[in-house]
Structure 1
Amino acid sequence: MNTYRHIYPSQIISSPSVTTQIVNFFDHLLRQCTLPEHCKQVHTQIVTTGGCQSAFLAARLINVYARLGLVFDAQKVFDSTQFQGTSNMLLWNAVLRANVSHGFYEKALKIYDKMRRLGVWADGFTLPLVIRACAFMGRFRLCKNVHSHVLQMGFQNHLHVVNELMGMYGKLGNMDYACQLFDKMSVRSYVSWNTLVSSYAFNYDCDGASEIFNRMELDGLEPNPVTWTSLLSSHARCGRGEKTMELFGMMRVRGIETTAEALAVVLSVCADVAVVDKGKKIHGYVVRGGFEEYLFVKNALICMYGKCGDVENAYKLFLVMQSKNLVSWNALISSYAESGLCDEAFAIFSQLDAHPVMTPNIISWSAVIQGFSSTGQGEKSLELFRQMQRAGVLPNCVTISSVLSVCAELAAINLGREIHGHVVRALMDSNILVGNGLINMYTKCGSFEEGHRVFENIDSKDLISWNTMIAGYGMHGLGENALRIFHRMVKTGFKPDNVTFIAVLSACSHGGLVTEGRLLFDQMIGVYGVKPQMEHYACMVDLLGRAGLLQEGSNIVKNMPMKPNACVWSALLNSCRMHKNTDIAEETATHIFNMNSEMAGSYMLMSNIYAASGRWEDSAKVRISAKAKGLRKIRGQSWIQVKNKVFIFSAGNTMQAGVELIHGILYGLVLQMESEGYVPNKEVIQENIDKELD
């Protein structure tokens, strides 16, 4: 701004070519503006010297204000000019670019509509901006209308316009239209090829991206770094991590310049597959290539280390960052939350909440809410959700899904219904993640009618939808309902996976459907091509054991193609307890104890089996053995929700308020049961004593 201090408009007012000199003078000053106050000072001088009569200067002012982030001021300049009814496209394009570049797409389209009503015809710079706005708006009909305008005005062969149209259809997911435009192009640029490759990447079609990449090479064009980055991105988005790393290696062998964007893509792959060694190698490329100053690369490194569980390195990177954005904070919060370090994640979240400039957004809130939810701290998760609502932050699909999961685990159906109401009002009920969360919540809470209604209202059910419905029926012993859903799923064209068979076999087990369970287990490989895993064998052992077919269950365990784990043996042991079979129980327990299993429940089961058969000395020995190994059985819990507050009951814990009233009610219930001829179950009493002693 030194020029501004030493040269004044008054010094050139008397010049014969005053208009041209003033325009050039202020244009020179505006180009040097780096702060909003500088731009506003120059703007004031332009107005006072009559320079505002220049459409060129008005356009330059709009561009500078937009560059400095002052879109409102840029719009005011445009609104105050006298050139709006003219075909001075420099001015129209400047205000369109200001709005589009800052995400004000609706406003940009209103300006374009005003242009057309005033009879101002768009040019080759206007249409790409309008098309870009349409693409981000995601309205197909609107996009088709603008495409029609392109044809009406004869821009169907304009390179930049057609490139933007291809990108628009790519964002809409209509690759057929994008390819038709590409094939009709008489002249193509690198942007044309790269737009098509990146469009395939955007639509998770790595095969399509590879096809265009290969076609580009066949046409004699060497793919540039942007093309390679798009190809890497396409494979990364499709979950083909190994192929992405292979392509990155090929890119380096060919001597293609590595870009910061390519490194960020590869780092995301390392994060997804949790391979910290490869991530550290890429970190080396970042340092040697001088990419450390790229903020999005640093953020990708934090994500990579965090998802690989190396929160220490993630935190070190965060600390040394000179400039941090909200993505940086969220990456670190997510790193701790996903590693199960919820208190640390919340501490970082609290620091962000106290930041003088930035505030937590929905991603920040979702990370801590999901973290506490996944570590079994549902009460804290719900408390944070309430705080988020009070802070005026609207939940997204991920947040809703996490909270619904907590509602399912805590059987908090009233809160679940409240969230369902919000989902409907926010038009989120068509989201498959939310729909599946609602099914899970309702079925786990035992409200099958509501769960089934949500299930039926999902237009595009995925495999998780079907599996969740099957599992919901199964856990409540409604095996026949679960089987009906399973067979309907198969008829619909869905192929069952491992999770499906765990759900349906478990449903058969809880519903006592032995014949049906046997048939499904036999059909797993032959009919459905699913190889039974450890969990499926555990389900079958449980199914046979509950039906009293202990010998058959024992034979399955002994003939398994893999070595049975403690869970499989424990399923058989539990069946032995149910049917008081001490012989098979002793043999089973021996296998479990020899595995040095830390499952305290197995020791308690065996102790109770001995106690039930009167072998008190053996029962005591098993308990002593468990205590010598430092094993403690996790106490059972139950809970109720009163006025949006969850109260948890656990054996051995004294309740602070209302305990006398509860004991009085329980005593009354015992007297009523005894008067009606109830005979106490001594095994249950013994188990309760165990919990109290533990």
Structure 2
Amino acid sequence: MRKLGVGTDGFTFPLVIRACALFGDSRLCRDVHSHVFQMGYQCHLHAVNELLVMYGKLGEMGDALKLFDRMLVRSHITWNAMVSGYALNYDCYGAFEMFFKMGLEGLEPNAVTWTSLFSSHARCGLYLETLQFYGEMRTKGIDATAEALAVVVSVCADLGALDMGEMIHGYVIKGGFENYLFVKNSLICMYGKQGAIRDAESLFSEMESKNIVSWNALMSSYVESGLCDEAFIVFSELENSMVRPNVISWSAVIDGFAAKGRGKESLELFRQMQLANISANSITISSILSVCAESSALGLGREIHGHVIRAIMDRNILVGNGLINMYTKCGSLNEALLVFGKIDGRDLVSWNLMIAGYGMHGLGNNALKTFEQMIKAGYRPDVITFIAVLSACSHAGLVAEGRNLFDEMTRDFGIEPQVEHYACIVDLLGRAGLLQEASDMVRSMPMEPNAYVWGALLNSCRMWKNTGVAEEIASWVFSLDSETTGSYMLVTNIYASTGRWEDYARVRVSAKTKGLKKIPGQSWIEVKKKVHMFSAWNAFEIGMEEVYEILRDLGLHMEVEGYLPDEICAKGCS
């Protein structure tokens, strides 16, 4: 049009500016801005308003504010563009300041302004403030828009405010907003997050038209409720519909199976996703890395790491933390440390994972050093940090250090010890043979000890063959309403180690009477890029003859060296 010599006007520029904003090319946008001023449209309200929207989408609110301050005439659209720009860039304080100034200049905020204001607070996680602003808007007699209702419903989902969400649902029906697809999708998400799966299903089934967000909302609802098979059924229906699954659809079902410990299905779905040419996002990769971590599939984890580097996702904090978790649980601490060192924007989770990783492998001093580095770097430890570092002290036998940390937790950081921290400190004292001090610690706890605390104390009694303390606490343990068999097994092991077979049989019968059954321990091994699982009495078949032969050789070597194999070793070699 310009080459043909056709002149532009105040209606042409807003369209061109909007197109530039969609491209997201900052230099192109500034060129058009310059052209607007060269052509003398710097005072044209429609053109300048569109420039404000453009800078908001580019994330350059400083330039938007300079432009705004120079404007002689402003409309509702002008103010709304600024409030919306701040909301889009997660600056709730900037949005509120602009909202406040608007009132001072005598211009009453409308429904769009209010929606942008509490949308900014919702984006920043200020959910209670969001509901407060919504209430103020309704008090002023301003009718809610469909966009406002969708924001408030999402906030109710994140807050766990099901009653409030149901009330908003009633307003949606009364106000005639049921046909707005994004409102219905928000309601499905809200009911799904609160576990009201039947309500989510009902809303989904009554929708005349569904988009990919609708399908993903229902799948996520099932995943939130731990119903991964139901989520997969919906996913299969989606594949056979007119709407095609996207990366969010795949990630939902992959994460669902991973969360339920069904790693095999997760990995198979991930392979199918790759065959479908769907690029994984950070959530997908994080789920798959968790599967690799839990199944100790180091080879596969390294392959995923390679994929992450090729996809330029290695700087993503969620992926980085997933890699640290995978490498530490697979025993490759050096690789975990390399990943940790390359994360630019480390968060508290990154530090916690490294501390826990060192502790898991008995490297207590490394865990303490990492904890100190974290403090020096300006990070404030949380509840999880102290569980990790106390556990590390326990596994490494660092009694003095563990005691100091337990005291510092409350004194220096204002964190009240929870039952998990007591379990760690009891385990620390018990492993060091300080059974009386550990027992006194349990009795002085401000909350009721749970099975993990008693289990830590019982395990120490087993290690030191102290039946006196064990019997003293056994009655407390057995009175707990727990479906776990760990404490029963520890007590029977203590009796067995001291030859008290009648007491051993009595406890076994008691556990059996309560319907408790020990879940057999399981191990994994990766052979030729395939993960195999095996357990006692259900051996890993491939190559077992070679394993037994090596065990028999080791048994002979032990006898030659003067060591007598114990009962467990004898069973393994037989």
Q: Does 1:500 align with 2:385?
A: yes
CA–CA distance in 1 between the matches of 2:280 and 2:172?
Answer: 35
Larger mean CA deviation between 413-422 and 664-673 belongs to 664-673
1:405 is aligned, of 290, 295, 315, to: 290
Structure 1 match to 2:46: 160
Structure 1 match to 2:458: 573
Q: Specify the code of the residue in structure 2 equivalent to 1:557.
A: V
1:510 is aligned, of 377, 380, 395, to: 395
Q: Assess, with a 3 A threshold, how the Cα gap between structure 1 residues 191 and 620 changes in structure 2: closer, same or farther.
A: same
CA–CA distance in 1 between the matches of 2:16 and 2:519?
Answer: 62
CA–CA distance in 1 between the matches of 2:41 and 2:400?
Answer: 69
Residue correspondence of structure 1 range 147-546 to structure 2 within 5 A: 147-355=33-241, 357-546=242-431
Larger mean CA deviation between 559-568 and 382-391 belongs to 559-568
Q: Assess, with a 3 A threshold, how the Cα gap between structure 1 residues 467 and 150 changes in structure 2: closer, same or farther.
A: farther
Q: Assess, with a 3 A threshold, how the Cα gap between structure 1 residues 248 and 616 changes in structure 2: closer, same or farther.
A: same
Per the TM alignment, residue 477 of structure 1 is displaced from its structure 2 partner at its CA by 1.0
Q: Specify the code of the residue in structure 1 equivalent to 2:383.
A: N
CA–CA distance in 1 between the matches of 2:100 and 2:325?
Answer: 45
Structure 2: gaps (5+ residues): none
Q: Specify the code of the residue in structure 2 equivalent to 1:567.
A: Y
Give the SS at the match of 1:185.
coil
Structure 1 match to 2:6: 88
Residue correspondence of structure 1 range 530-609 to structure 2 within 5 A: 530-609=415-494
Per the TM alignment, residue 134 of structure 1 is displaced from its structure 2 partner at its CA by 4.4
Q: Specify the code of the residue in structure 1 equivalent to 2:272.
A: Q
CA–CA distance in 2 between the matches of 1:142 and 1:509?
Answer: 60
CA–CA distance in 2 between the matches of 1:569 and 1:388?
Answer: 45
Does the 8 Å contact 1:557/1:568 carry over to 2? yes
Aligned residues: 572
CA–CA distance in 1 between the matches of 2:36 and 2:70?
Answer: 15
Q: Does 1:640 align with 2:536?
A: no
CA–CA distance in 2 between the matches of 1:238 and 1:299?
Answer: 21
Does the 8 Å contact 2:305/2:323 carry over to 1? yes
Q: Assess, with a 3 A threshold, how the Cα gap between structure 1 residues 576 and 398 changes in structure 2: closer, same or farther.
A: same
CA–CA distance in 2 between the matches of 1:195 and 1:326?
Answer: 29
Residue correspondence of structure 1 range 69-88 to structure 2 within 5 A: 85-88=3-6
Structure 1: gaps (5+ residues): 1-82, 90-121, 689-694
Q: Specify the code of the residue in structure 2 equivalent to 1:347.
A: I
Q: Assess, with a 3 A threshold, how the Cα gap between structure 1 residues 550 and 390 changes in structure 2: closer, same or farther.
A: same
Does the 8 Å contact 2:43/2:71 carry over to 1? yes
Q: Specify the code of the residue in structure 2 equivalent to 1:576.
A: C
Give the SS at the match of 1:168.
helix
Q: Assess, with a 3 A threshold, how the Cα gap between structure 1 residues 131 and 678 changes in structure 2: closer, same or farther.
A: farther
Q: Specify the code of the residue in structure 2 equivalent to 1:373.
A: A
Does the 8 Å contact 1:508/1:543 carry over to 2? yes
Residue correspondence of structure 1 range 6-21 to structure 2 within 5 A: none
Q: Specify the code of the residue in structure 1 equivalent to 2:6.
A: N
Give the SS at the match of 1:422.
helix
CA–CA distance in 2 between the matches of 1:432 and 1:136?
Answer: 27
CA–CA distance in 2 between the matches of 1:582 and 1:136?
Answer: 73
Does the 8 Å contact 1:612/1:683 carry over to 2? no
CA–CA distance in 2 between the matches of 1:523 and 1:594?
Answer: 33
CA–CA distance in 2 between the matches of 1:509 and 1:618?
Answer: 30
Q: Specify the code of the residue in structure 1 equivalent to 2:496.
A: A
Q: Specify the code of the residue in structure 2 equivalent to 1:551.
A: Q
Does the 8 Å contact 1:201/1:237 carry over to 2? yes
Q: Specify the code of the residue in structure 2 equivalent to 1:310.
A: A
User: Percent identical across equivalent pairs?
Assistant: 64
CA–CA distance in 1 between the matches of 2:98 and 2:143?
Answer: 20
Does the 8 Å contact 1:314/1:332 carry over to 2? yes
